[in-house]
Amino acid sequence: MARIYIEDLSHQVGEVINIHGWLYHKRSGGKIRFLVVRDGTGILQCVMAKGATPDEAFNSFDSLTQESSLIVTGKIRKDDRAPGGYEMELTNLQIIQIAKDYPITPKEHGVDFLMDHRHLWLRSLRQHAILRIRHQIIKSIREFFDDRSFVLLDAPIFTPAACEGTSTLFETDYFDLGKAYLTQSGQLYGEAGALALGKVYVFGPTFRAEKSKTRRHLTEFWMVEPEVAFNDLNDNMELAEEFLEYIVSSVLKQRAEELKALERNTKFLESVKKPLPRVSYDEAVEILRKKGVNFEYGTDFGGTDETIISEQFDRPVIVHRYPAKIKAFYMKRDPQNPDLALAMDVIAPEGYGEIIGGSQREDDLDTLLQRIREHNLPQSAFEWYLDLRRYGTVPHAGFGLGVERTVSWICGLDHVRETIPFPRMIYRLTP
Residue whose CB is less far from Mg ion, 226 or 357: 357
Nearer to ligand 4AD, 33 or 217 (CB): 217
Q: Residue 402: which of Mg ion, ligand 4AD, none does it interact with, CB under 5 to 8 A by kind?
A: ligand 4AD
Between 17 and 318, CB nearer to ligand 4AD = 318
Contact flag: residue 399 with ligand 4AD (CB under 6 A): yes
Within positions 165 to 204, which residues make up the interface with ligand 4AD, using CB under 6 A?
Answer: 185, 187
Residues 6+ apart with CB under 8 A from 168: 184, 208, 209, 210
**Residues contacting ligand 4AD: total by CB under 6 A:** 23
Told to check if 357 binds ligand 4AD by CB under 6 A, we report: yes
Residue ranges in 204-243 that form contacts with Mg ion under rule CB under 5 A: none
From the list 77-85, 214-222, 252-260, 312-320, the region that binds ligand 4AD by CB under 6 A is 214-222
Q: Cβ(275)–Cβ(315) under 8 Å? A: no
Q: Which of 255, 320, 405, 417 binds ligand 4AD (CB under 6 A)?
A: 405
Q: How far apart are CA 347 and CA 2, in angstroms?
A: 48
Task: Report, in Å, the least distance between residue 409 CB and Mg ion.
Answer: 15
Interface pick for ligand 4AD out of 321, 358, 382, 388 (rule CB under 6 A): 358
Under the criterion CB under 6 A, does residue 419 sit at the interface with ligand 4AD?
no
Pairwise CA distance, residues 320 & 22, whole Å: 50
Q: Which stretch binds Mg ion (CB under 5 A): 17-25, 68-76, 350-358, 381-389?
A: 350-358
Q: Could you say which of ligand 4AD, Mg ion, none residue 134 binds, taking C-beta under 5 to 8 angstroms by partner kind?
A: none
Confirm if 159 and 189 have CB atoms less than 8 A apart. Answer: no
Contact residue for Mg ion among 42, 193, 353, 357 (CB under 5 A): 357
Among 35, 223, 244, 425, binds ligand 4AD (CB under 6 A): 223
Q: Does 323 bind Mg ion (CB under 5 A)?
A: no
Where does this chain bind Mg ion (CB under 5 A)? 357
Where does this chain bind ligand 4AD (CB under 6 A)? 163-164, 185, 187, 208, 210, 217-218, 221, 223, 225, 354-359, 398-400, 402, 404-405
